[in-house]
Amino acid sequence: MSAPRPARATAWLVGALVALALFGNYYVYDAIGPVADLLQRQRGFSDSQVGLLNAIYSLPNVVLILVGGVLVDRFGAARMTLWTAAVCLAGAALTALSPGFAGMAAGRLLFGIGAETFGIATLAAIADYFGGRSLAFAMGLALAVGRLGSFGADMSPTWFAAAYAQGWQPPLLIATALAALSFAAALAYWWVDRAPRRAGLLPTGRGAEAFAWRDLLHFGRAYWYLLALCVLWYSVMLAFRSTFAIKYFQHVHGLDLAAAGQMNSHVFLAAVFATPAFGWLCDRAGRYAPFLALGALALPAALAVMALTPWPLWVSTLLIGVSFSLVPAVMWPLASRLVAPGRFGTAIGLMWVAQNAGISGANLAAGWLNDRAGASAANPAGYDAMMVFFGAASLLGCACALALWATAGRRRHELRSPA
């Protein structure tokens, strides 16, 4: 007999609040890309400094995110979502209000300390309420709404043209307001969550097993392939799309800021609709690894089309959108099936430790390559080394996805049945 679970209406209310919290958080993360050119022109930042503003977001999580996963297991998703949303709001405000690069970098650092554990907590929240019933669809839907925040950040030069006309700071103040919206949604989720958790319908977190490093050795081979794919895929996707894509479109393809932001936003516009659809399909088909491999393959294909062909840019951004829809829609539900429920936060935390190291390294490497080659509107060929770097990393990610598919196909006992 299955254990009692929260009412369906409560589950969907929590899902909506979590999605709204993700919306604000995603907007803040992607707020740097649209102001990158303004930061260079108005504040004299180099590409390395712009890259560092997103790289420093990830740097603390190379260590702290595993601790964050353990804390989610220990204290529960609702409290950790609320606490980390408050940290993210403080970081967004510091970034927008700081007069110099050091203050902005400190704000992004603080935002990163909160945001990655916030991401684990929101995934755990969906797993709490939807485990065993439409999990991939619910996660996909929450991520889709979150990506509307990224879409909004990319479209902000068009939607908030008056703010951008005033300089680099007003757009970042808008991002701070959306961080406040994220905190309000997290607070509402924490309030709604209290009743079902006290009624014993959800784990309290107090029963979580003590963490031991040796437990990581018991994760199966499929989990480690998934971790490697996570690192490589996110390193390319976030370093390119969230930091350098808009500048690349401006300098290499001759778009103005508004048009470049709109082109970059197509990735998330596609993901808003496709992520929950792919999640629903995976729930029905019960086949995760083939979809994951397909999503991983779409990324290097998109980069190749963008850099090597005269095809319209929307072809590449559509392919990136397919990849950005498929991979997260499959990756996180699959992770929940590869590890025991009491280790989900820890397993995701370990993945994000490695992921954040990769994202930081990719941002710094891409910025260094661009500066070294003198990449600019006057020298668009200077971006070639960056694109080769991103292409090679995405191909390695494809190899990991294929290895995972082969392993999961041979060793289905590694896949835990849904709760």
User: What's the pLDDT score for residue 47?
Assistant: 78
Query: Residue 396 has which token pair?
Result: 């390695």
**Closest alpha carbon to 240 in 143, 145, 319:** 319
- The mean pLDDT value of the chain amounts to 82
- Report the C-alpha gap between 3 and 155 in whole angstroms: 44
Query: Token pair 């353990």 is at which residue?
Result: 70
Three-class secondary structure of residue 6 per DSSP: coil
Higher pLDDT, 343 or 27: 27
pLDDT of residue 274: 72
Is the confidence at residue 233, as pLDDT, over 90? yes
Q: Please state, in angstroms and rounded to a whole number, the distance separating the CA atoms of residues 143 and 276.
A: 8
Helices within 160-288 (DSSP H only): 161-165, 169-198, 221-239, 245-253, 257-285
Taking 3-state DSSP, the helix, strand and coil percentages for the chain, each rounded to the nearest 5, stand at 85, 0, 15
The larger pLDDT score, comparing residue 41 to residue 280, is at 41
Tell me which of 313 and 180 has the higher pLDDT.
180
Percentage with pLDDT > 90 across the chain: 26
pLDDT at 417 over 70: no
Q: Give yes or no for a contact between 260 and 249, defined as CB atoms under 8 angstroms apart.
A: yes
Could you give the domains of the chain?
Answer: 8-414 (1.20.1250.20)
Angle at 45 between CA 41 and CA 48, to 5 degrees: 135
- Residue 258's CB is within 10 A of a number of other CB atoms, namely 16
- Residue 413's pLDDT band, with cuts at 50, 70 and 90, is very low
Q: Which residue, among 302, 112, 70, has the nearest Cα to 208 in the 3D structure?
A: 70
Ordered DSSP codes for 97-110? H-SSHHHHHHHHHH
**Where does the pLDDT of residue 193 fall: very low under 50, low under 70, confident under 90, or very high at 90 and above?**
confident
The residue written with tokens 């979809």 in the block is 291
At 81-131, the pLDDT tens digits run: 999 999 999 999 999 998 788 898 999 999 988 887 898 889 888 888 876
Dihedral angle, C-alpha 351, 152, 292, 400, nearest 10 °: -50
Q: Which residue has the higher pLDDT, 154 or 161?
A: 161
Residues 350/227, Cβ–Cβ less than 8 Å: yes
Between 408 and 129, the higher pLDDT residue:
129
Is residue 283 within 8 A of residue 378, CB to CB? The reply is no
